[in-house]
Structures are given as structure tokens and as C-alpha cells.
Structure 1
Amino acid sequence: MPLNSFSKAKEQHAASEEAVRLAILGSYDILDTAPEKEFDALTKLAAYICHTPIAFITLIDKDRQWFKSSVGMDATEVAREISFCQHTIRSKATMEVPDAQQDARFQSNPFVTGDPHIRYYCGVPLTSPEGSNIGSLCVIDLAPTTISEHQKQALQTLAGEIMARLELRRQKKQLEVEKKKLAESEKRYKALVDNNEGYIFTHDLQGKLLSVNPKMARALAYKPEELLETNLQNLLTSDKGSFHNYLLQIQESGIANGILQIKNAPGEEKFWVYRNFKYTDDEGNCYVICSAQDITDKEIAQQLLEKAKTELELKVESRTKQLLALNTTLTKTKTNLDTFIYRASHDLLGPLCSLKGLLNVARQDHEAPNHHEYLRLMYHTVEKLENILNSLLSYSNNTHYSLLNKPVDFQKIVSESIHACTHIDFYNRIQFQTDIKTDGRFWSDEERIRVIFKCLISNSITFQNFSSVSPFIKISVYSDAQKATIHIQDNGIGISAKTIATIFDIFSKSAVLSKGPGLGLFIVKEVINKLNGTIEVTSTEAEGTLFVINIPNKRLECTAQETSAVT
């Protein structure tokens, strides 16, 4: 990327982060508010703890530093460009300036060269739950000095208390907004119910009517107050058993629909199609919300019944297919699990038995020269156990833990993965060649990518071709805004055409020399699937193997999540 393009991208990223920070600051609704005792008390406590004459709680706005609370100075705001705290919010850590006259950032600052002649400064950023620094808690002295770690920790504690109070203020504001919205929603709901052309009503779990809309009362020729406290069963022409079954259905499934045969005040029979569901409010009160339409015309009622029958049959058929598919999946999962437990147990018991036998022999053999050989064999046995357990742990972590997206340093991962393989036999024969190029930041799960590199590099070392004078492993990475492409190539013993089709299967071993449990490449495939990537392999026996991996860049997805969290 050209230097000026990189600088422009960096400036755009900084501008975006600053816009987010200012939006979060604005959400607290704290700027230009009057002094408050609770914040003044914390400021005084900061000055007292650090033995300084001046202390502030500051908030960094777009062009100014505004003081919510101050001790030792009467200023309410200063230009942001000359403030000390603008430097504090750029870091997550406490910023300390022992002598401002000796610090290139502040030597010419008007508050250093003139009143109040600041010499010492210590500031702790005020960090929001979203991770943005909106201001700082700082202490100032007019002479060069330093404060202890205990005093800095106390400042950090006070900064946390300040943010807790600001967060409480923001939550109260949000609660007030939500209450207002709720009141408006309830008003709209009442208007909707009162003016709805359908019949809307509620009853408790025993059938007693709790509310009815005017349309329903008129249809039944009752006043609304006459219907309240009446049991719905008293209005129906169906028997008590049917109504009891309806209440049971509501209790168990939470929903019921069908046809009501209901009589009005003059005794006329009406047919209503209804759809009712059980609802529990925030206070734990449980009742049934009902909606109905008049379908007294028997022909229309029959059509609706036939439609309901058809829908029910389709639902039963669909549910049956779902259950059959689920049963097939469960059967397959159980088979895989049984195989997994058997093979893992077998692979673990083998080294354990070998280790136990070696310990017994070593204990009975008193010839000292043999002990070193026993220790070597026991070490390799323990090493094998460790490899098996690490493979099982990697598989478990990949299965159960969610993705953790963050910037990925491929140079660091490759270097650490190579170094992690130094214990493998004949590691020193390998010539490593790396070529890593990045175009912008690449976001993904760094630990899962590390698993891929370690496994594939380890395999290439283990299955090197000992007839080759110059065994090598070439690792290349190219990443851009869309994806990362990884090539891992060696000139090892290769993989046979017969074996290559199954190398990613669980417990598959790509060579007769394999000493592991056969989980490595299976785990690599599972990890890459978790990252929504792809892996391809080409290999020729006695010539070498090439793995090509593509992993999508999650940066756009992460940016969208961050923006959603702020809004």
C-alpha cells in the first residue's frame, strides 16, 4: 500500500474512532451541567490521597477540555489542544509527568510557562463500558514530584467510581426514555383495541373476563362493565368439558385457536373464529390475550375449518420430517461419539501402559547405565501422552468456545509456531522459508489460526524425507481486506493418492510412521470450518505436500458489531 494511502486510511480510522468516542460522551448528558457534590467529593479525595493542591475531573469534548469538578483552580474549560488530558485519553494506562518542564510534549505549554506553572501531572482515563476514554481524573502539583503505586491504584479506583456514577446517570436517562416510550405504546395499544373492528378481550386462566373492547360488547349486546368478572364459559353454548380442554391447551401449549359458539344477550348464537395465547407480564401475572372474528355464516365457517385441518396436517407432516432428520443426526452423532471415546481411550491407555512397564523395569533394574535409556523412553512416552491430550484439548476448545475476532499478527504466529516445534526430532535439518505480506489489518480468531500453523508445521517436520539433503518448509501468507491465503509446502515423504481422500477424517493417519492419535488434520479441518475458510491439499509421494488455506477477513463484521453496540 502506498505511504500516503496508508496515512489516509489511518486518519480515516482515527476519525471514525473519535466520532464513536464523542457519541458515547454525549450519551452521558454530562457536559455543561452544574457542579455536583458527589463528584466534588471524589475530586477532593483524589487531591488528599496524592497530596497535591490541584485535582480535576475532566471530559474531553471535540475542541475543549471541560471540568466537571475541580480543586485548587476555578477554570471551567480550556482548549483541547493545550490540555494535558488529551494525551491521557489516548492510552488505557495511567499517564504520569514527573516534571513538565523536562517533557518535550509540555515544555512550551502555556500552563507550564505561565499560570499556574504546572510541573507535575498524573491522569487516569475515564473509560466507558464500550471501551472509549471520555475524559480523565487527574492531580497536579506545582513542583516536580512522583506518587506511589498505591496512590496510583487509589486514583484508578476513584476513576472507576466516577464512571460508575456516570453510567448510573446514563441508565436513568435511558430508563426515562423507555418509560416515555412505554406510556406512548400503551396509549396507542388502547386506541387500537378500542377502535379495532375485531373482538379483543382477555381472561384469566380460569376463564374469567378481565377486559373487552367496545366492539365485542356491542356485538354481544352487553355493556363492557357487565361482561367484566363474567366467566367466558357462561357465554358459550359448548359443554363444560370442551371449555375445560381449551383451558388445559392454553396452560400446556400457551396457544389455542378454533371456533367459538357464543350467544349474545338476546340469546342469538354466533360463531367466532379465535386465536388466543397465554401471556405473562413483568410482575408474573399470567392471563390469556384473545382475538376473534365473527364467522356466523356456516359456509365460511366450514371453509375455515377445512383450512385449519389442512394446515394442521401440513404441520404434522413437517414436524414428522424434522423429527426423523433429528433422529438420523442423533444416531450419527452417537456413533461418532462412541468411536471417539473408544479411540481416545485406546490411544491414552497405550502410552500409560508403556510408561507403567518402564517404571517397573527401572525400579527392578539396579544397573545404573540402563536408567538413562529408561528415562529417555519414559520421556518419549509422556511426550506422546501430551500430544494426544493437546489434540483432544484443541478439538474441545474449537467445538465449545465461540470465535474471538481481533487483529491477527501473522508474522508473530508463524514465528511462534516454528519455535514451538523445536522439540520435534530432526527439527534442525529443516530449512524454513517464510514470506508474509499484509495489505491492511486482518481480523480473525488468532488462537485458532495458531492451531492450524502448529499442526501443519509439526506434520511437515515429522514426515520429512530423510533421503533429501535439503529438507525445507515454505510458509507464505498474503492477506487483504477480503481474506488471507496461506501456503504451507514441504519436500517430505508426501501422501499417497489412496490416503489423501481421508486425511481430514477423525483418527485418520496420513502415514504409517504417524505416532499421533490421528486427530491433527481432523482438528485443522474443523478449525478452518469454524472460521468459514477452506483447505486444499496436493501431494506426491517422495516429493512433498502443499496445503492451501483461505480464511475470510472478519474486519467488516467486527466493525458492524462495534457500530451496532454504540448505536
Structure 2
Amino acid sequence: MPAPSIPADEAQRLKALWDLCVLDTPPEERFDRIVRMAVRLFQVPIALVSLVDKDRQWFKARYGIAELSGPRNTSFCGHAILHSEMLVVPDATLDPRFLDNPNVLDAPHVRFYAGQPLRAPNGRLVGTLCVVDYKTREFSEEDRRALRDLSAWTELELSMKALQEAQAAVKQLDHFFELSADMLSITNLESRLLRCSVSWSRTLGYSTTELRDIRLRELFHPEDLPQVLEARQRAIEGRPLPSVECRIRDRAGTWRWLQSNFIFNPAECVFYSVAREITEQKQLESEHRRVEQLKDEFVSTVSHELRTPLTSIRGALGLLKGGIAGPLPAEAEELIWIAQDNSDRLLRLINDILDLEGLETGQLSFKREPLPLGELVTQAVVAQRGYAAQYGVKLVVALDSEARALVDADRFLQVMANLLSNAIKFSPQGETVQVRLARLPGGLRVSVEDHGPGIPESFRSRIFHKFAQADGSDTRRKGGTGLGLSITQALVARMEGTLSFVSEEGEGSTFFVVLPEWTPPEP
């Protein structure tokens, strides 16, 4: 059994069918009376208004069958829409297209079929008005004229329904434009409003009539107009584009911020846009930036002013500990130790703050060179052995590669010092911290693995935030500024690398630094 061919204009045909807005709608008397009249006029048991969808034929009106639809690939109507002329099959058992069709071999045992193609308002063939009989028969010219007349009536009803649906859609659109809190608009290529929602008048203070007499581009801030025009051009070219934030002048001359999205309809050469006012949001953002700037300036100034006297205090305490003033009473010596320990902690905090400021402002010096990463890793581990001994922790190094990376030596050692000191602090006494360097397809990976308490699940999403500390653990007792990992992540990023971690509570954590491997340029 040959399935019906697909018409050459299938895409346009389907669009015309779907634009009728009739598929899967409830039965309507105006279509039902047509099939009843066809049954009486032609003395047949079955009559259908059949619409041929992508994979099915769906019956808008039916007489003589219970089904609402059937497969397209076995339908007679699928063959009928291939030509504009009526398809008449006097005896299906003799027609090679249908003799082994399941509708012929089995119920309803079709023998006769006559189907007149139905046209959508744009002329595309979307279905048929057809009559079916269980016995063979001839179909006279008079019968053909009658079926064509009934088909014309069906096409008229389809057009009327499409018109009613369009009118209903326009009414709904009017209601939507009236109630929408967003600024909806349709504009032409000359930036004139063809239609806009009431919210445009509420936001800008112009009447609808005044808005239609204004070219919108004349209201945009001169600094923002280029990006608005670029967004419109991207929409015309069908390229994806983000929301556009721009200033627009209201009737009182005040600049208001809008966030807009554009879609271009090439068929009608118009833009559809949705905008909303974000003036208050922009003011809050500006105020927030100003507060952050003042805070950063204050912290930076205080940090710079504190570092010099604090360094002097720390040095003086060191001299006292060293015996420059002679032997000290035990109580005084203990106080000196406490004071120097707190001085060291304050100095670390100040240095971290200044490093962070330098990273954020781009003023932190970097001198990247192609250096053997294994040597730097070893150097970092050696520098931390004394610190590890204080905690009874052993450092183990495994170097699987001698490859080079383009890094700043001092900043890389700072990264390793932060990761190693964290791993040491949180490792139980007698445990081991493993440091590995390996070559991977994605670059060189340095890992620092400990067997401490792990990172709480609730803290992992903000572990790289400034001043972040996991209050639920013993982090506070271990000391630290809460800036180390934030600085470490920024330093690694400046060396074009990534910092990540895996952790399991009660089992430990592993931090990974991945850096691109350096290869010498070709001669």
C-alpha cells in the first residue's frame, strides 16, 4: 500500500492549516449540517470534513463513524490533497493505491470514495469534504458539481471561523496591552510606535497620541542610543541578543532607565519589544557601588596606616622576646608571646586585605615566567615543614611531571602556602597531607589532599567568598582571616588557571590547582 506523498508546499500548507485555529476544536453545528446534507444528497453512509495534519487526518465534522481522527499514511484524503481536482475512486479494490489499504480490507470496508480538496484563505490545500460508501458506484458530473458546491460552503465556514478566531485574538491582545504592567510596543523601522500598552503613558507621561507622533530614537539618551540601534540590528539579523538597558526621557525631561528586549518580524518589518522601568533598581545599584567604594577606600587607607606601626610593634616585641631588655619575669614573657601572636595575626589580616585590594584594582604586580612547576611545589612544601611539625602532620610529595607553567613564582608560592597551611591546620595529629603534581589533558594539576574533618555542605557554595568562614566547625579556633581562599582563587585566575575542590565530611578535602602547560614557541 503506497502512503500518500508529501506535497511540495507541505510547510506552507501546514501553517495555513494551523492558522485556521480549528484543529481539535469542539463540534460545531455549522459544519455538522454540511456532512448531514452530504449524506442525504448522495445517499452514502459516511461524510467527513477531514483536515490533513502532519501525521493524521482530523475530522472537524463526521457522520457515520465514531473516530475523531485517523493516521495520515493510510488515509484517502492524504492522496486527495495532492491535487486541486476532486479525487473519485469508484472501486477501491481495483485502484492500486488503495486495494490493500486497511480501510478497504477491514472495517469500514471502503469501496467508494469522493473527496473535494478544501482550500485555506491563502489557497493552500488543507483537507477535504469527502463522502464514502461501502459499495462501488459511479459519480456523475452533477454529483461532482454538488460536492464542489458543498465544499465551497465548507471553505466559507472555515474562513469565517478563522476570521472570528482572529477577531477574538485581537480583542485578547487589546486587553493584554491594556492590563500589562510591562511596556509592550510594536514599532516600525523608523522607530515610530504603531501600538503600545497603557504602561508607556503611565511611565513617560505622554498620551498615546503623542507617543505615536514621536520617533522613539529621539527620546533615548545620546550615550545609550548606539547600543539600542545595535540591538535592533541584531534582531533584524536574527542573532540572539541580551536585554538592553538604556535611558529614555519622559515628558518632564527626567531620564528613566528601561530594560528592553527586541524581536523582529521580517514578514511585516516591525519590532516587538517588552520593556520595564528599572530606574529605582539603577539608583540602588549606584548607591550600593558608592558604599562599596567608600568601604574599600576606608579599609585600604586604614590598612596602609596600620601596617607601618604594627610592623614596628611586632619588631619591638620580637626584640623583647630575644632578651634585648634582659631576662623578663615569667608573667611578662607570657604576655609578650600573646601580644606578638596577635600582632602576627593582625599583620596577616592587613596583608591579605591589601593583596585583595591589589587584585581587585589590578595593581598587584605579576611577573609570569615559564618555570618548572615541580621545583616550585617542592620549595613550597619545604617552607611549610616547620609549620607542619608544630601540628604533628607529615607532608608527602609526589611529582609526576617536570613540565613548566607560565606563573609568577612568588604568587604561586603564596597560593601553595595558603592551601598547605589550611590542610595542615585541619589535619589531625599524626595524619599526612599529600601534595601531587600531575600532567593531564587539560594542563598541569597540583593537588593538596588532607584527611581532616572536611568542608560542611552548607559552606561549600561560599568557600571562596571574602571573609567566609565555616562557623559550624572549629575554623575560628584554628585562626585565619577568611580571605585566604578568596585571594588564592584570584591569584590562580590571574595565572590563567582554575581552583576547585572536592570534600567529604569526616573524610577530608582535596584542592586542585590546574594551570596551562607552557610549551616553548616553535623556532
Identify whether the pair has TM-score above 0.5, normalized to the shorter chain: no
Relative to its length, the structure with more helix (as a share) is: 1
Larger Rg: 2
Normalised to the residue count of structure 2, the TM-score between the two structures is 0.39
Normalised to the residue count of structure 1, the TM-score between the two structures is 0.36
